[in-house]
Homo-oligomer: A and B are copies of this chain.
């Protein structure tokens, strides 16, 4: 458990002592963040430009918090100006934003966001499920108060345990709670003790998914061995090659601005005259490659191609592009 804690601290670039893995998949980490940091009298501002903002808003409303959503069309990101207006208008105690919007393929810029939030007395909560290891994120330097990811994305471990970390500012807010979180399984006070983050002797809390925890330890070790910078570069190079290849096939990328394309998940518009389901089915049947359609607000509009961690190689890009060329020929032919 101490190795995992150190591995997450490295992957997140943080010194936070409240750093551990949640015993559940990415959604469970999202809930852990919200359940521990929100009470009925809290206001949360949510940046919604895809499914994950919608999801966080849904959970926060279940918890009785007041929720305001900053809306952007799928494929777009939030500027500091957008956020500043939202903070000034709604005076939230926490801002939720998605670093890697895997339903739309957008990478949200984080520079200056932490400072801006703190100037408004607001915590910054960042969802990095789809981006961690694939794009730079520097928790302490960027002033992020809560950060979580999943084990099965760029970390390439099986799903089932989810790294999470809390800043001192976030810890202090939890200490000031007037009510207990409506979950024992995700109660950060108990988890801090179980994971040895509280300075006190460890207390039994629940059984962790032990096999998954060992896998996570190895995945974090592999990332540390490769080096974060190398991992970021690898994902960026693979994404660049993929985007070029897609455009060479005559396809249109969903995210226009190159700098805000998520390196781990690339979205491309479903081309005119094609049914996206025929393309994904063809790729699976004939090439044993799984790509997916849109999700939430992008359903029916895009194809999503995930290349992350172990899978993020130039060879896989080339293999996919060949298969996709084949699919574009056959799926169009079948409709004539």
Q: Judge whether A1 is part of the interface by a CB distance below 8 angstroms.
A: no
In addition to A23-B24, A62-B180, 8 A-B residue pairs with Cβ atoms within 8 Å of each other are A23-B25, A24-B209, A25-B209, A28-B185, A31-B185, A159-B210, A160-B210, A160-B212
Kindly supply a per-residue 1/0 record for chain A positions 204-231, scoring 1 wherever the CB is within 8 Å of any chain B CB and 0 otherwise: 1011111110000000000000000000
Which residues of the other chain, B, contact A185 by a CB distance below 8 angstroms?
Answer: 24, 27-28, 31
Interface size counted on chain A using CB atoms at 8 A: 35
Which residues of the other chain, B, contact A182 by a CB distance below 8 angstroms?
Answer: 35, 62-64, 182-183
Q: How far is the CA of A182 from the CA of B158 in the complex (A)?
A: 27
Q: How far is the CA of A171 from the CA of B140 in the complex (A)?
A: 46
Evaluate contact between B23 and A208: CB separation under 8 angstroms: no
Evaluate contact between B207 and A158: CB separation under 8 angstroms: no
Q: How far is the CA of A183 from the CA of B59 in the complex (A)?
A: 6
Q: Judge whether A3 is part of the interface by a CB distance below 8 angstroms.
A: no
Q: Judge whether A50 is part of the interface by a CB distance below 8 angstroms.
A: no
Given contacts A23-B24, A182-B63, A185-B24, contact A159 B208 (CB under 8 A): yes
Evaluate contact between B55 and A210: CB separation under 8 angstroms: no
Evaluate contact between A204 and B31: CB separation under 8 angstroms: no
Q: Judge whether A152 is part of the interface by a CB distance below 8 angstroms.
A: yes
Chain B, Cβ-Cβ closest to A24: B24
Interface residues of A in 13-37 (CB under 8 A from B): 23-28, 31, 35
Which residues of the other chain, B, contact A183 by a CB distance below 8 angstroms?
Answer: 31, 35, 59, 62, 182-183
Evaluate contact between B158 and A210: CB separation under 8 angstroms: yes
Chain B, Cβ-Cβ closest to A64: B182
| Least CB distance, A72 to chain B, in whole angstroms | 22
Interface residues of A in 169-200 (CB under 8 A from B): 180-185
Which residues of the other chain, B, contact A295 by a CB distance below 8 angstroms?
Answer: 204
Q: Judge whether A263 is part of the interface by a CB distance below 8 angstroms.
A: no
Q: How far is the CA of A23 from the CA of B161 in the complex (A)?
A: 10
Q: How far is the CA of A28 from the CA of B191 in the complex (A)?
A: 14
Evaluate contact between A158 and B55: CB separation under 8 angstroms: no
Q: Judge whether A150 is part of the interface by a CB distance below 8 angstroms.
A: yes
Can you list 8 A-B contacts with CB-CB less than 8 angstroms, sorted by A residue number? A25-B209, A27-B207, A59-B183, A59-B184, A61-B180, A152-B210, A159-B209, A204-B295
Given contacts A23-B24, A24-B23, A28-B185, contact A159 B207 (CB under 8 A): yes
